[in-house]
Amino acid sequence: MDTQAVTAEIQRLIETGRDFHHRGWSLATSSNYSVVTGRDPLRLLVTCSGFDKGRLTPEQFVIVGEDGKSVRDSGRKPSAEVLLHLALARGGAAGSVLHTHSIWGTLLSEACAAHGYLEISGYEMLKALAGIATHEVTVRVEIFPNTQDMPDFACRVEKRLCDPGRPPLGCAFLIAGHGLYAWGKDLTEARRHIEALEFLFEVAARKSRLFQQAI
Ligand SMILES: [Zn+2]
């Protein structure tokens, strides 16, 4: 990706942050976003650590390499979760990864943590997820336990992505009591996945309350 394309992606990520903050999915400096800018070698444009996602500026992004460190001596510190983004860019072939901390995602990730997954069936909105063409489907979103040990977690996610003995992870997973990771072939697709899943989480949680059903 040339400099002009990187600048355009930064602007789109700034808009994404503003939008997600406004919707209550990226509050209090939480969340992180990335776009792959090169494959050989791997280069990832990612949000820096600790900034308000509703007011991002171009100086609050950094390009990192395979090791998660800035490729230039910029002094900019990438998000603490950059290793997860790199694992998804490698093992999940993601072109963009978005991470949110919504209320419904956090509640559901906790409510379903003991199962290790959340299943959603029968909704038209499921067709917003890549590869799904009908509402007559069940999508399973896996739930990982929360941790502050990012190198270990990234390693587990990468192994899970490459595990031939289990069904594919799809385009998203939850972290218990924490939030959602979703990815896509590019930023447009990753955004669509976040929007659809956040909608579906709210529907699932409200439905269980409305009809007094287990999720
Ligand atoms: Zn997080």
The predicted-structure confidence for 174-213, as pLDDT tens digits, reads as follows: 999 999 999 999 999 999 999 999 999 999 999 887 777 7
Look-up of token digits 């941790």: 147
Taking the centre of ligand 1 as the mean of its atom positions, its distance from the CA of residue 211, in whole angstroms, is 31
CA of 165 to the centre of ligand 1 (A): 28
pLDDT at 136: 93
Q: How far apart are CA 166 and CA 156, in angstroms?
A: 14
Write down the pLDDT at residue 209: 78
Tell me 1's DSSP state: -
Encode pLDDT of 140-165 as tens digits: 999 999 999 999 999 999 999 988 89
Question: How large is the average pLDDT for residues 63-92?
Answer: 89
CA of 133 to the centre of ligand 1 (A): 30
Distance 68 CA to ligand 1 centre (A): 16
pLDDT at 71 over 80: yes
- Calculate how far, in angstroms, residue 11's C-alpha sits from the geometric centre of ligand 1: 22
Chain mean pLDDT for the chain: 93
Q: Is pLDDT of 97 > 80?
A: yes
pLDDT recorded at residue 16: 98
**CA 32 to ligand 1 centroid distance, Å:** 7
Ligand 1 centre to CA of 179 (Å) is: 6
The CA 46 to ligand 1 mean position distance, Å, reads 14
Q: What's the 3-state SS for 24-53?
A: CCCCCCCCEEEEEEEECCEEEEEEECCCCH
Spatial distance between the Cα atoms of 71 and 63, rounded to a whole number of angstroms:
6
Section 59-75 average pLDDT? 90
Average pLDDT (96-115) is 94
DSSP codes, 115-176 = TTEEEEES-GGGGGSTT---SS-EEEEEEEPP-S-HHHHHHHHHHHHT-TTS---TTEEEET
Distance 136 CA to ligand 1 centre (A): 31
Whether the predicted pLDDT of 101 surpasses 90: yes
| Mean pLDDT of the 110-118 span | 92
Predicted confidence at residue 118, as pLDDT, reads 95
- Alpha carbon of 89 to ligand 1 centroid (Å): 17
- The stretch 68-78 carries a mean pLDDT of 85
pLDDT tens digits, 13-37:
999 999 999 999 998 988 999 999 9
Residue 215 pLDDT: 66
